[in-house]
Structure 1
Amino acid sequence: MKSIVFHPAVIELMSNPNQDLYLQFKTLSDKIEPIFFNLMYMVGDMNEIMLYSESRQSELGNFISPSSAVKEKDWYLETKGSDTTKWWFEDGKLFATRVIHNIEFRTVSGELYVKFDYNKIFGDFIGRGNEGNGIIITDRQNRPVLTEHVGHMDDVGLQSLSRMGTSKATISGESYLVVNKDIPQTDWILHYLVPDNLNKTGIGNILSATGIIVLICMVFLSIIIFLFSETMLKGIEKLNTKMKMVEDGDLTVVVSAHSKDEIGQLTHRFGSMLKQINQLISEVYQTKITQKAAELKALQAQINPHFLYNSLSLINSKALRIDAEEISDLVNHLSRYYRTTLNKGKQIISIQDEWTNIQAYIHIQLAMHNTRFDVEFDADDKVFEFEMIHLILQPIVENAIMHGIDLKREGRGKLILRASLDGEDIVFVVEDNGVGMEPYMIKRILEHESAGYGIKNVQERLQLLFGPEYGISIHSQSGVGTSVIVRIPQYRHIREEES
């Protein structure tokens, strides 16, 4: 129906009645009639197709007539006032109608009328109802379209049929349970009728069968409960006793099981968990001892810097008196380096101070190397809002100078330090144009200890605090140089005095 009323040729022909008659016949014969004949051939339910034109006064071919011929029909007015397909059953004829619009002027230019084969459309219902059950199809005015396996039903009975859900109806003195359902894309309703006596018989059978099944299930369940209590509950009671002893503080309990069922597996896992708890307690105790020793060393380290700073300050003042600015500058860098390195014994440092630390360290290295290499710093100021673990960049820069730039035989060395934001992360990059390294050396640096405070130590500290997704990655090409990338999250440490 839609393929016809929205076809451009149909719309054009119905909207332009004053077009040259020859062109109208040509459009009808070349474009429209082939479509209609094809539809009637492929859709065997169609018996007749007719277009009714609002502006035409005479027939055109076999498929177009004036609307005046059907203006007295009930379906005409209702179809003209609707944009959907309307289904009808009148005088034993089954047909559907739909309006055709003049798109340009947004007016009704005609109506489509399609007659269907009643027996083919309702073939699935006619003569196929279950014994005793009936089928009624009615329109919105409760007029019957189809009646199967149901006795005579007067207009009062038809009007009493519900439009949806389930209801009761009496036909020829017999009571029925009626299930009502809208038929999609039509204005019709399907009523399926089941005699009350069949319904009650079916319910009785269902209740009897249900009672027998429930009885069998109760017997079976009783057997299962007995077996469960004799086997599994004993294991649970034994496990519960062991857990109560652990709850009371006895962590030396030996928990084991020989059975392979779920209770045995649960007992075995509880025993393994208890062993791990004891091991962790031992490790935590040892860690506490180590921590106390480290705190003592940190306390000692707090005493020494005062002497160091005072000594460096004295050297700086004497250098200024004799106008030794180079010595003064070097002393200031050394003082700044040790101030940020010691960091009052704390593990967390602001990125600003870490950046100052590495700048001071590089200036000292430049003095030691007689400025034989160039340095470039590039930092996004936004990274200075965050914090990090201290002494991360210094070992990387030291390796770049000692094992990269110092071994370079030709050309001038160059060291580049960058710091930038990458999404929710902070990325530091240390690049050198030194001798580079082979892939096996990269793996060795990250996985093995080296003399002093090495890259492996830095990697472990980063991943211990931030997780395995953060840390160091190294890209190097032999004879070209090395790039070391440090990735950390945007981190702000809550200081003890603030908490």
Structure 2
Amino acid sequence: MKRRISMRSKIISLSVILISLALLIQGGWFFYHYYNAQVSLAYDNMEASVEQMRFSINKAFSDINNSALSLLTSPTMQNWLAGRISFDRNLPEFQENARAMQEDCKNNNLFDNTFYSYGLSTAFLISQNSEIPLYTYSTPYNSSIFTFEELKVLFEKESDAAVFIPPSQDSKDIFFIKQAQNYNRNQTIFFLYVINQSCFQELFSGLLSDVTISVTDRNDIVLFSNTPAMVGQEYHRYLEENKALYPGKDTLGYSRQITSAPFHVNLFTSTKSITTPIAVTLLQYVAIMAVLLVAFIFIAVWSFSNYTYFIKDMVSNLNEVRNQNYRTRMKMYKETDLNRISFTFNKMTGEFEDLIAKVYKNELLLKESEIRLLHSQMNPHFLTNTLTTIGVSALLNNDSEVYQMISSLNVLVTANLTGSLKGDLYTVVEKEYEWIKSYLYIQQLRFQERLSCEINVRDKQILNYYIPRLSVEPIVENAVIHGIENSSNKINYIKIDIYTENGDLFFEVSDNGCGCDFDPLKNSSGDDSGRQHIGISNIVERIHLLFGDSYGLEFQSSSGVGTTVIIKLPVLKDRPDQDSKTLENEREE
């Protein structure tokens, strides 16, 4: 047999699942934003590094260019610009002019500081037929390796006043070349600076080992880089040929142009620099969440076990109710909502107990009615036929009073016996009205002038309404037996008022008999007076069963003054369903 999961286990399991799901969603949301934040931070760091590098290189190239421009302000260059001297090797004053130019370079502070700050090795002045070494800071460069014609062609292609020549396979140095012409534009010279890569390598020393940075010219040639193998190579071709080392999907790249020179600063780094700390953080988060989840599960199991223990109590009490123990009660709890459940359950079982007691009492009344019916049962046809024969005999003897009395008695006998045996539960008010008139007619013959009767029907339409059979006539009979018979009044009256009010039907039966100081419905003593009112109690029980406790009888009685009984019934314009569960139906079953 398949084992069923208890409600408590379902609640606890659902709570654990919800907590785990919440932690999972929170973790996913956290790492999604954490990863994006790390990528954004990486780009910010790269941008800051590139900007710093760009600023440093810009400043270096700007200082080198300014140092070349400062040479034009020297006395020797001013004479050359004015055409007063020349750097033609064939002229006698060439050596003197060359030494003067070298002396001007030594005395130029900007020129000297530039060589010192950026580690320039050698500076040359190149004219059409001469090459003059102007200044040497570190290792002297023996040859400029560029002729005047080559430089002239180069500047014709570049159309710039200054040109940077990147390293090559023959030389790892960078060349800065500045062109100058005299005022007459009939002489041209070139200033050539030899720049060692080591001066720029120092700019990369502060970068992380997993960051690759390089500077490229307009032809995409790498001028210098913290990766020596890239120097002199075409930047993008190098990356294409070394995809295994620099896979695009696993790297982040950034590039900016240098403003003082036609160069670009390029930087890229592996995504491992981002994913590695994220992976470490993820493992830490998983470990922490695992500990928290275990703690949450323990707390959830403990708290929900304490909170759902009332389910066991409720199941236990429901089993008691199923075993017909309606006196079982749930205990009170500290929680307000659980107390409400406990209160409702206890109220329900109390109502069950009262209802069962009421049904049991009704069963006793039913059995008593059946016994009374069996004791009083006789052939109704024989009795009514006999009364009819007596009445006809009186009529033939011209005794109309006896005939009328026998006819009234026959009506009452027929109402009590025939209707009960047929199981008719309802009758129209008109029939009940006739039975009351027949009964009062017989009693008036008995009491003569001592009894006066009055029946008032305020609306003739009431005679067509339906009421429970014999629900009013026994009250009238009770008024005669207990009110009139024991009365010492010379003249007694019984007044019956029939009317409707607020959608309900009322029968008000009043007499001026002896009255009483007790409520017949509440008198449970075993004396004769208690037994005499059992018929009234049966009527009340029957009305309550049919229409509820809001309908029934109201007694107003005072000893020596009289009694008024008000019967309250619903207005029934149509005959009710005879198959409804009523006291008479239960008797038939």
Q: What TM-score bracket applies, with the shorter chain setting the length?
A: 0.3 to 0.5
Which of the pair has more CA radius of gyration? 2
Greater helix share, 1 or 2? 2
Query: TM-score, normalising length from structure 2?
Result: 0.39
Greater strand share, 1 or 2? 1
Tell me: higher relative CO, structure 1 or 2? Use CA pairs within 8 A at least 6 residues apart. 2
Query: TM-score, normalising length from structure 1?
Result: 0.45
